[in-house]
A and B are shown apart, each in its own frame.
Chain A
């Protein structure tokens, strides 16, 4: 049985490694064409590097009260006449260096963003996969819950979940618990979009013959869902996840700004903006401006990346 029925030509050498195929792809080509996208990617990379290296880069640990001096409170930025040496972007009312607080705050904002997206994507993908593949009553139930949730704004759901969880847990929560509650409430408010997208793709894929071929050899439904269906529906999810990363960061900032998010002892960008907001009318503009600019740039860069990814992966726009 070793010899073929007709001699087939030896296949040509192809880049087979993952990286090789990526640099060969249309997506990479479209990335190189767009200067704006490259700038956005660069900016995002800078923000992420800054968040990761916050401990090395910042002159002060803003979460450590022992390092804060009230003498240094409300100092203007360095280029101002009253500015002082290590505090490049000035300090807040507790003598906290704004630059350090932004770097550490970025870390929290990005962590909440990434974890929130991971949580909502996992939840949404799993529910969408089950709804689309199983169909019938299960599908109807999951999608009606999704429809109801869609009638509320995401921020309202996040506030609601945040409030309920905090009431259930009770008492004073430490910073890490607050962060987990934030991730949980953001995750619960964003799963619908993933579920609807995944369900739609699953309903297309499940009727294709490669699924029938897998059913034919008796594979159980969960195996077919994860091995065969899931890899074929993840394309659109990547785009939603990127755009939702920006949304999750904004939601966290909003919650913190409203006072239900990160506490002042461990401020995120949103908390810093809320603190700064109190001093805006007394002329200390730097406390609110610099965290605000950082947040706006971060969200803008991620959004630009998401827009590009959506177009690059859309076959109709190529």
Chain B
């Protein structure tokens, strides 16, 4: 990429301690157990771009999202947003200023709004927290403006979250994310809790806002159709690692990694009727004891001995020995 990237994620790792309590370990025996939720993830996002992370449940997408916004400290690695590190203590003051520009939209709109607060207080909270506007009158005006921006009525601000549908609540969550004039919004499966018809409305609203306000999105999803609609670049995650990164269209027309091909083949599509498919084999392994080498090797039809021992690096947008060695051709016709 020629332009300077806005978000830079370098070799991000997160390990969770999932051992039994100390007393149980002493009495029953057993080792400490660690779960590598995210294992060396790197990517960059340009300003105004939508970068999507896709993957099955448990692949570490949401953990990456939480580390990027700073809700969860990484075990190692670094997140740089607009040149400011999110993890080092030296940048504390700058990070505080950066917080205003980073917001998050959560998966469950029923849990992401405080049920005891009126909507206008929820939307106004970031404005008050960052002291963006001082006078109460101006805050009220701004909240009304934000609510109309996301397709709600300014008078809706007097209501409580339980008076709204899931889609409307997600609109409120978007209004809250925009309240601090955020530039970078991390969306953790923002539509997976919604009806299909409402999903499209929310996605279109998010694209529309991106065009108007020049927002940058990190978009987490397991739904390939949603990702295809939204993303300019896509990273495919499998067991805490990125196995493939490519431009949006390319991923769907020329999938490289066997896992990506398997995912795409699993998407029902009228045009593919009659074509031979690679069936989805097996399940995602237990991340506490992941397979050695390439973590996808037990499910991969092209795996050989090297795949079982050596972790493939991410080269040319794909982490696969078979592709690197030329054993597996990039199938342009898919």
Contacts and interface: CB of A to CB of B under 8 A. Distances in A.
Interface of A: 1-6, 8-11, 14, 16, 208-210, 212-219, 228, 231-232
Nearest to B188: A209
B151 A213 contact: no
A232 B152 CA distance: 26
Contact of B148 (A4, A212, A218): A4
Given A210-B114, A232-B114, A11 B108 contact: no
B323 interface: no
Contacts of A5: 149-151, 205, 208
A8 B151 contact: yes
Nearest to A212: B71
Interface string B106-128: 11100111111000000001100
B155 interface: yes
B103 A216 contact: yes
A218 B205 CA distance: 27
B156 A209 contact: no
A214 B152 contact: no
Given A2-B145, A216-B103, A218-B96, A8 B205 contact: no
A10 B173 CA distance: 20
Contact of B71 (A9, A14, A215): A215
A14 B156 contact: no
B261 interface: no
Given A11-B155, A218-B99, A210 B113 contact: yes
B111 A216 contact: no
Contacts of A2: 145, 148
Given A11-B159, A16-B158, A209-B112, A216 B69 contact: yes
B180 A217 contact: yes
Contacts of A9: 153
B237 interface: no
A75 B151 CA distance: 78
Given A6-B151, A208-B111, A231-B116, A217 B205 contact: no
A173 B180 CA distance: 58
Contact of A213 (B112, B149, B158, B208): B112
B176 interface: yes
A4 B151 contact: yes
Interface of B: 66, 69-71, 96, 99-100, 102-104, 106-108, 111-116, 125-126, 129-130, 145, 148-153, 155-156, 158-159, 163, 173, 176, 180, 205, 208, 212
B55 to A, nearest CB: 20
Given A11-B156, A210-B114, A4 B149 contact: yes
Contacts of A8: 148, 151-153, 156
A80 B118 CA distance: 62
B220 to A, nearest CB: 13
A225 B69 CA distance: 21
Given A214-B125, A218-B96, A209 B111 contact: yes
22 contacts: A1-B145, A2-B148, A4-B149, A4-B151, A4-B153, A6-B151, A8-B151, A10-B155, A14-B158, A209-B107, A209-B112, A212-B106, A212-B112, A213-B173, A213-B176, A215-B71, A216-B70, A216-B99, A216-B103, A216-B104, A218-B129, A232-B116
Contacts of A209: 106-108, 111-112
Contact of B159 (A14, A210, A218): A14
Given A209-B111, A210-B111, 7 more contacts: A2-B148, A8-B156, A208-B112, A212-B104, A218-B99, A219-B129, A232-B116
B206 to A, nearest CB: 11
Contact of B99 (A3, A217, A228): A217
A209 B122 CA distance: 13
Contacts of B112: 208-210, 212-213
Q: Shortest 3 CB-CB distances between A and B: which pairs?
A: A209-B112, A209-B106, A4-B148
A216 B107 CA distance: 15
Contacts of A213: 104, 106, 112, 173, 176
Nearest to B113: A210
Contacts of B66: 212
**Which one of B114, B116, B125 has the highest number of Cβ atoms from chain A below 10 Å of its Cβ?**
B114
Contacts of A6: 151
A231 B145 CA distance: 28
A217 B153 contact: no
Contacts of B151: 4-6, 8
A225 to B, nearest CB: 13
Contacts of A217: 99-100, 125-126, 129-130, 180
Contacts of A216: 69-71, 99, 102-104
A258 to B, nearest CB: 42
A14 B163 CA distance: 10
A10 B107 contact: no
A205 to B, nearest CB: 9
A48 B205 CA distance: 57
A318 to B, nearest CB: 15
Contact of B149 (A1, A212, A215): A1
Contacts of B100: 217
Nearest to B201: A6
A23 B70 CA distance: 44
Contact of B153 (A3, A11, A218): A11
A75 B112 CA distance: 68
A10 B111 CA distance: 25
A237 to B, nearest CB: 14
B162 to A, nearest CB: 12
Contacts of A10: 153, 155
